[in-house]
Amino acid sequence: MSTIEQTNQIVKESQSVSDTVELKSKALLELLEGAGTHAHKDKSLPTLNAVLVEGAGGYLMATATDRYRLIEGKIEVESGELTSSLISLADIKRINALVKENKSGLVTLNRIGDLITVSVLEGSLTVTLLGGTFPPTADLLDAVESKPIPVSSMAFNPALFADYSKIVGKGQAVKVYFGGEGKSMRMRLTGDAVEWRALLMPMRYQD
């Protein structure tokens, strides 16, 4: 049987876990808008029609994939941590709209259970997180950090590539590193506040 002292210790430990992060609103907007371009557009695939957000070690990270592309961005936070949270693309757009109206100052993300409340200046909204499991992606990104390999040619979908210009901004370069014939391309994207890692899969192409 548990003692009162043991119960109190459990309560204290749960209270010490922070599920709130505070960060600059402009940085959050850049992060979520950029990651959202890579979320799958098909609502029948809810775990892909979404952005995975989590905060730890002084950073907030956002990850998204449409199975042909994968992107991960991270920004510094002012304080706090956030448990891994899967947010639908529709709710990501709602959050972006709120932050756009209140670009100045700081924004707070507070998770309680399966709800996240976003608060900035005078505005706030609460969204319900998705269930399901986001596909594991960290190993994919880590695997292509090695030295690039020369290739004779590579085909890719230009419509998918075009979204990179939205992430880095007008007039900015996108650098491509090739991992070998038929393997994913590593994209070097430089944002204002976000540190990005991204992959683009090649197309099958016959001359």
Taking residues 93-100, report their average pLDDT. Answer: 95
pTM of the model: 0.85
CB burial of 106-124 (b: ≥16 within 10 Å; e: otherwise) equals: bbbbbbeeeebebbbeeee
Read off the pLDDT band of 14 (50, 70, 90). Answer: very low
Q: Which pLDDT belongs to residue 134?
A: 92
> Interior CA angle at 107 toward 64 and 138, to 5°?
25
- Range ranked top by mean pLDDT from 30-34, 136-140, 190-194: 30-34
Q: What is the DSSP letter of 150?
A: -
Q: Which pLDDT belongs to residue 52?
A: 97
Nearest alpha carbon to residue 37 among 51, 52, 54: 51
Tens digit of each residue's pLDDT (9 = 90 or more) over 100-130 = 988 778 999 999 999 999 999 878 999 999 9
Evaluate if residue 170 carries a pLDDT over 90.
no
Tens digit of each residue's pLDDT (9 = 90 or more) over 17-52 = 459 999 999 999 999 999 999 999 999 999 999 999
Task: Please tell me the distance from the alpha carbon of residue 183 to that of residue 123, in angstroms, as a whole number.
Answer: 45
Cβ atoms of 86 and 114 closer than 8 Å: no
Report domain extents, the chain: 19-200
Q: Which pLDDT belongs to residue 143?
A: 65
Classify residue 156 as exposed, middle or buried by CB count within 10 Å of its CB (0-12, 13-18, 19+): middle
Q: Which pLDDT belongs to residue 76?
A: 96
Read off the pLDDT band of 147 (50, 70, 90). Answer: low
> 19-200 — its CATH code?
3.10.150.10
Tens digit of each residue's pLDDT (9 = 90 or more) over 50-91 = 999 999 999 999 999 999 999 999 999 999 999 999 999 999
Compare 3 and 201 and report the one with higher pLDDT. 201
Q: Which pLDDT belongs to residue 18?
A: 54
Nearest alpha carbon to residue 120 among 25, 18, 50: 25
